[in-house]
Amino acid sequence: MDGPAAARTLTAPTTAGRRLVGALPVRARFTFTVASEADDPEVRRMLRETSFPGSVSLSFAREPDSLVAAQVEGDVHDCILARERATGRLAAIASRSSRERFVNGTPTRVGYFGQLRVAAGLGGRRDLLSQGFEFCRSLHQRDTAAMYLASVVAGNTAARRLLERGLPGWPVFRPVDDLVTLAVPRRVRSRAPAVEIVSGDQVGMAEVAAVLTRNNPRYQFAPCWTVEDLMFQPRVCGLHPGDFLVAIRRGAIVGCAALWDQRAFKQVIIRGYSRTLDRCRPLINALGPLFGVPTLPRAGSPLAFAHLSHLAVDDDDPHVAIGLISAGRRAAGNAGLDYITIGVSAASPIHDTVRREFPHRSYASVLYVGFWPDGRPAADALDGRPSHPEMAIL
């Protein structure tokens, strides 16, 4: 049997990227479209109500408007909806975005697949996923991105096996790096850093962009940042020059980072704990402050954290990294946050610095590159340098 046809109907572009709307043939159970503003309440409900199991069960909400977070992900963004043809019920959502990133040190448009949520009872339907990828391919043909990033929690072996099977019509998914998200608790007081740390508004965004531009090419898939990007609020929603931390040594700027609190448009909600962890939670919370370990909020609470984003350090100097992270912890404490998160490659020298110097919890995931046949040459040419896709924009 022939595979489902690509989407055929197009609508005009919007500020969120090109808006394409299409449907699969009548014989298909599901129809696929790109979300409009009218679909936003349903999209937010599915995000809010879908939780990810584990010792800590989480949901990832995007209130009060999912479009705000979408604009952070890329200058092209499509929220894809799958509906049951017979009932109109929302069966699944996913996102496809793209932006400029460094690939082998050169600015290149790279896509990202994310935000996949499937309605209860439909999680095992491969026809839903296959038809969804066919629809994604129709969108892909209207973009210049050759490759797409996707990340999967390291312990989710079922999802990883499914991605790596290479089913007909699917993109090829190739694991390229191990990513680690490190949750480091706040600290209001700490020893003086080995470098001077000043606010970004003291040096200007041109200087910050220069630090990022000379360091990010050393890392695969690191975003390309211009001064215009850093000052354009839809791209860096809620992030301002005063939120940047800049490291100075002997009068020269040698690194930067930013404390990016995204709770105004993206929330991580605790949905529950494993039985063992729930029993231990009172003890962990009582002893955590003594040992600098993040506490565990009650179920139903949003996590109070910020990303330590835009982290760039000349020559990966550990003293500069320690100074920036220490300053980020102090800023988080002063802002009433519980901790900061730092997303890095397991192969990055900064990963070793954080693990050695700071109390933390770590969460591992696998970074994949996905591509259709036209993207294989670009994927085959990747040179294996550590990645830095910037967790705050995924």
Domain interval for residue 248: 182-264+304-364
Is residue 198 one of the residues assigned to a domain?
yes
Q: ∠ at Cα 320 (100, 323), nearest 5°?
A: 110
Which pLDDT belongs to residue 151?
A: 96
Residue 211 shares a structural domain with residue 312: yes
Q: Which long-range contacts (CB under 8 A, 24 or more apart) does 162-166 make?
A: 163/368
Round to whole Å and give the CA distance between 177 and 388: 10
- Return all residues near 376 (Cβ < 8 A) that are at least 6 apart: 172
Both 89 and 234 in a single domain? no
Q: What is the pLDDT of residues 106-120, one digit of tens each?
A: 999 999 999 999 998
Could you give phi then psi for residue 42, rounded to 5 degrees? -70, -40
Pair (342, 250) in one structural domain: yes
**For residue 24, what pLDDT is reported?**
44
In a domain, residue 288? The reply is no
Residues 281, 57: Cα–Cα separation, whole Å = 14
What is the structure's pLDDT at 187? 85
pLDDT at 2: 29
User: How distant, in Å, are the alpha carbons of 108, 229, 304, 364, 372 from that of 184?
Assistant: 32, 27, 12, 15, 38
Q: According to the model, what pLDDT value does residue 16 have? A: 37
214 located within any domain: yes
Same domain for 359 and 311, yes or no, is yes
pLDDT of residue 287: 86
Same domain, yes or no: 213 and 99: no
Q: Which CATH number is 105's domain given? A: 3.40.630.30
pLDDT score recorded for residue 21:
41
What is the per-residue pLDDT for 211?
Answer: 98
pLDDT along the chain (394 residues), means of 10: 26 35 59 96 96 88 95 95 96 97 98 94 84 95 94 90 89 97 86 87 98 98 98 97 97 98 97 93 85 80 96 97 96 94 97 94 95 97 97 96
Judgement on whether residues 226 and 320 belong to the same structural domain of the protein: yes
Q: pLDDT by residue (tens digit) across 190-243? A: 667 789 999 999 999 999 999 999 999 999 999 999 999 999 999 999 999 999
Residue 27: per-residue pLDDT: 62
CA distances from 139 to 22, 26, 78, 136, 378 (A): 10, 20, 9, 5, 19
Handedness of CA 8, 137, 150, 325 (dihedral sign): negative
SS3 string, 264-302, reads CCCEEEEEEECHHHHHHHHHHHHHHHHHCCCCCCCCCCE
Q: Report how far apart, in Å, the C-alpha atoms of 237 and of each of 97, 139, 243, 255, 261 are.
A: 17, 26, 12, 22, 9
- Within-domain flag for 255: yes
Token readout for 230 is: 């850093």
Q: Are 319 and 327 in contact (CB under 8 A)?
A: no
Q: Judge whether 220 and 387 are in contact, CB under 8 Å.
A: yes
* pLDDT value of position 371: 97
Angle, to 10 degrees, between the axis of helix 66-73 and the axis of helix 40-49? 80
The answer to whether residue 45 is domain-embedded is yes
Q: How many domains does the chain have?
A: 2
Residue 372 CB partners (closer than 8 Å, separation 6+)? 137, 140, 171, 172
Same domain, 128 and 252: no
pLDDT at site 28: 83
Query: Are residue 120 and residue 245 in the same domain, yes or no?
Result: no
